Amino acid sequence: MEANSLTKSEWQAGISLASVYVLRMLGLFMVIPVIAVAAQEYPDYSPLWVGLAIGGYGLTQAIFQIPMGLLSDKWGRKPIIYIGLVLFAIGSLIAGLADSMWLLTIGRIIQGSGAIAGAIMALATDVTRESQRTKVMALIGISIGFSFYIALLLGPVIAASFGLQGIFLITAVFSLLCIPLVRLGIDNKAYQAPSGDALPKTKLLGSLFKHPHLWRLNWSVLVVHLLITCFFVQVPVMLISINVPLSEHWALYSLVLFASVIGLIGLIKMAGKLPVSISFRVALLFMASAFALLLILSPSWSGIAMAGILFFTGFNFLEAKMPAMVSSISPAGSKGSAMGIYASHQFLGAFLGGVLSGLLNSYFSPEYTFIMCLVVIFLLSLIASGLASSTLQVQRVTLRLENRHKDAQSLQLLRDKINSMAGVQEVLADPEENAMYLKVDAKIFEMDVANAHIKAQI
């Protein structure tokens, strides 16, 4: 097997973990485009309960995302993943068997407590070589995007045939199917030394909240997910109001998704020639145009479709751009911590979007929700103006140290040598992990020289 190719165990791990994401996220995403309509069958239905049911999942995800990642360091990746999958299945069963909105909301809250995204990503790093991790992460990332788009098309069709309960029961089955995928798909012999850069560290969280660029990205993802939640609270109901049955919503979503991918390609090409802060605001302008159309036009199939195309063109661009920027900008040795904070903001945004849209729909007309969305987009555009571009092709490198480097003086001397190497941007020495974490310019950094410094006698 060539050094630059995935081994059999790496392929197996990548496909297994990507499949876990597809099954788990497919069940979760299928609820999004239908819950605002299908929930009207419950006797205690109200717009506020719909908002809480949609957002409740995001609240517990935001709360448990970092703690579950930390526990996977202490108890092991697989046990935490199993616990998360079981919690997700229990929540899905409760929601699927619920005969009231409050019980459905309880199910959604329990679903969210199975926050295992960080543990899955960390397991992926544990069973792959440093040189191949980008490929495995890309496979998992593609699977998440794939599941989102397929779910938008399948959700309305399944809900029309089996109801909202059917989606939740299917989700429970999907979640339980993930357990053997993790158990059998990960070769225990393939474990590498765990990457201390993959999971949150409590001692780093405070400084990362204040990071001059990361906090802007955290607020950006919060607002973006607030907006998509508001979008799916309103749009399915608007389609019903113009006599488009739930079973036919997939036709509009398929057009929206196809056209928005074409728009995304054009936006990516244009963004390559612009500063990152400008490209962000262009994407936000697309999303603002969508809400403006929904606000000023009378509901119609074509108007909603155009608004959806504009919204998803901007949304898809930001959804792809922001995680890559967090990974690139986060300090050496802090990627797991930065991504944990980022994910918590992401799910908190979904919670706030559900609650705020539910409250506004309870007391005002839907137009007020669109106005709120336009206001928060404007505020986010001000925040995004401070984002800076990254000029280097950043790569993260983990160096495993030898026991003699646990001495403070020896460790400092080695750190100084590594820091002086060409291409090194940042160095973090972590004696507890017996590792050194680097951010480097991949084009000129020489790994062999770094390893030689570690092996040299001091």
DSSP secondary structure, 401-452, as one string: PPGGGGSHHHHHHHHHHHHTSTTEEEEEEETTTTEEEEEEETTT--HHHHHH
Structural domains of the chain sorted by starting position, each given as residue range(s) with its CATH number in brackets: 12-184 (1.20.1250.20), 201-391 (1.20.1250.20), 394-455 (3.30.70.100)
Q: What is the pLDDT of residue 134?
A: 67
pLDDT score of 193 more than 60: no
**Beta bridge mates, 436:** 399, 429
Tell me the per-residue pLDDT of 51-79, one tens digit each, with 9 for 90 and over.
999 889 889 988 998 888 888 877 888 89
Q: What is the pLDDT of residue 195?
A: 60
Distance of alpha carbon 291 from alpha carbon 304, whole angstroms: 10
Distance of alpha carbon 91 from alpha carbon 113, whole angstroms: 9
Q: What is the pLDDT of residue 91?
A: 95
Strand order in the sheet with 394-400: 394-400, 435-441, 424-430
Report the percent of the chain where pLDDT is more than 90.
37
Distance of alpha carbon 234 from alpha carbon 36, whole angstroms: 8
- Amino acid at site 190: A
Distance of alpha carbon 426 from alpha carbon 401, whole angstroms: 17
Distance of alpha carbon 452 from alpha carbon 439, whole angstroms: 18
Q: What is the pLDDT of residue 411?
A: 81
* Structure confidence at residue 24 as a pLDDT band (50, 70, 90): confident
Q: Taking all residues of the chain, what is their mean pLDDT, rounded to a whole number?
A: 85
Average pLDDT of the residues in 285-298: 95
Of 144, 358, 117, the residue nearest 232 (C-alpha) = 358
* Structure confidence at residue 148 as a pLDDT band (50, 70, 90): confident
Tell me the per-residue pLDDT of 233-279, one tens digit each, with 9 for 90 and over.
999 999 999 999 988 999 999 999 899 989 988 888 888 788 888 98
Strands (E), 218-343: none
Q: What is the pLDDT of residue 46?
A: 92
**Beta bridge mates, 394:** 441
pLDDT score of 414 more than 70: yes
Of 103 and 445, the one with more pLDDT? 103
Side-chain half-sphere exposure of 242, counting CA atoms within 13 A: 15
Of 14 and 283, the one with more pLDDT? 283
The whole model's pTM is what? Answer: 0.83
* Structure confidence at residue 458 as a pLDDT band (50, 70, 90): very low
Please report the sign of the dihedral spanned by the C-alpha atoms of residue 27, residue 352, residue 94, residue 233.
negative
Of 50 and 443, the one with more pLDDT? 50
Q: Token pair of 143, please?
A: 């699977």
pLDDT score of 1 more than 50: no
Q: What is the pLDDT of residue 391?
A: 45
| Helical spans, DSSP H, in 272-300 | 276-296
Tell me the per-residue pLDDT of 348-405, one tens digit each, with 9 for 90 and over.
999 999 999 999 988 888 899 999 999 999 999 999 888 766 544 567 777 877 766 6
Of 349, 358, 354, the residue nearest 377 (C-alpha) = 349
- Name which of 180-194, 204-218, 289-303 the model is least confident about: 180-194
Of 57, 59, 19, the residue nearest 35 (C-alpha) = 57
